[in-house]
Amino acid sequence: MAAKSEQITVVGRRKCAVARVRMVPGTGQFTINRRTFEDFFPSATVRGYVTQPLMITGTTGSFDFQVTMAGGGIVGQAGALRHGIARALETSNPEFRTVLKQSGMITRDSRVKERKKPGQPGARKRFQFSKR
107 lies in some domain: no
118 lies in some domain: no
62 lies in some domain: yes
* Residue 29 belongs to domain spanning: 8-102
24 lies in some domain: yes
Q: Output the domain CATH number for residue 57.
A: 3.30.230.10
Q: How many domains does the chain have?
A: 1
pLDDT, one tens digit per residue, over 87-132 is 999 999 999 999 999 999 999 999 999 999 999 999 999 999 999 8
**Global pTM value:** 0.88
86 lies in some domain: yes
The one-letter amino acid at 124: R
25 lies in some domain: yes
76 lies in some domain: yes
Question: Rounded to whole angstroms, how far apart are CA atoms 26 and 78?
Answer: 21
Return all residues near 107 (Cβ < 8 A) that are at least 6 apart.
101
